[in-house]
Each structure stands twice: as C-alpha cells, then as structure tokens.
Amino acid sequence: MLRFLALATAAVAFAPSARTSPRAFRLAAAEAGAAPAAGIQFYEGMFEPDVPDVKITRSRDGDNGVATFDFQAPSFFNCESEADRARAITAMTMMDEEGELSTPNVNARFVDGDPVGLVVRYEMTTPAAFDRFIRFMGRYAEANGLNFNKA
C-alpha cells in the first residue's frame, strides 16, 4: 500500500460536509420511500446509511487507481436479530443510474474482539473504470452531502 501511495500522482478524498449531516439526506430519502440517486449496498435491496470517508489514488500513468472506503459505523453492526448477524457480507455494491460497481475486498476492523469499522478497497484497472467510478462518486457525494478535497 505504501509503495502504491508513493507512486500516486493524484490523491483525492470525499468527506462528509460540516454543514449538513449525511445521515439526514439518507433518512429523508428513506422516509419518502425513494432510493437514493447513488448508494452503497452490502446486502441486496438494503442501502447503507453510514456514509464513509473515501480516499482515491491514481497511478502516474493514469491506467489504474484505488478507492478506499472507511465506514466508521456500518448499520449491520447494530443488527437486532441473530439471523441478521449470521448473514455474511460477500461484497460492496455501488449503485447509480448507470448501473452497478462491485468489489469483494471488504474487511472489518476489530478492537478487543468487537467490530468497530469497515474498510473496503475498490480497484480500477483501466482509465475507463476510473472515469466510471468518478462519475459514481460525483452522484454519491451529491446525494450524501460529501465534499471533494484534492490532496
């Protein structure tokens, strides 16, 4: 990971805006019964209300990139039933008007045996895949009150 970051020429991040609560956008959409314009799912049909910090890097030649999603409090950590807890997460799916992007690279963070967060890595191996991801992130940022910060 450190080697990749050293080779990256551009690093950007999407972080929640201090002005508006990202959860407020999600709750308003959920109350209206509408799906968000762009959203993330770990389970089919269930949009994740926790909005992650997203860091994006791209190689110098622009051929590939990596997006790292850092979820601090994913909703499934608060499952009430044993059946919900037993369902395994096999991927993260990003959905918008153009379709779906998916990655199986999902890892939980634990402290003293308790889950405290989730880190997801989405790899883009072509310039077209990178551009597609950036279009998704633009929609996701708008739907969730995220700000774009260029490093």
CATH number of the CATH domain containing 112: 2.40.30.220
Does some domain include residue 64?
A: yes
Give pLDDT, residue 19. 38
Secondary element (H or E) of residue 83 = helix 82-86
The answer as to whether 47 is a domain residue is: yes
- 57 within a domain of the structure (yes/no): yes
- Domain of 44? 40-144
Return per-residue pLDDT of the chain as tens, 151 residues.
333 333 344 455 555 544 334 444 444 444 445 667 899 999 888 899 999 999 999 999 988 999 999 999 888 776 555 555 556 788 999 999 999 999 999 998 889 988 889 999 999 999 999 999 999 999 999 998 888 777 6
- H helix count then E strand count, the chain: 4, 10
* pTM of this structure: 0.74
121 forms bridges with which residues in the sheet? 68
Please tell me the total count of domains within the chain.
Answer: 1
Q: Which residue has the tokens 């997203």?
A: 54
In a domain, 104, yes or no: yes
Residues written for the chain = 151
Which pLDDT score is estimated for 105? 97
How confident is the model over 109-135, as pLDDT tens digits?
Answer: 889 988 889 999 999 999 999 999 999
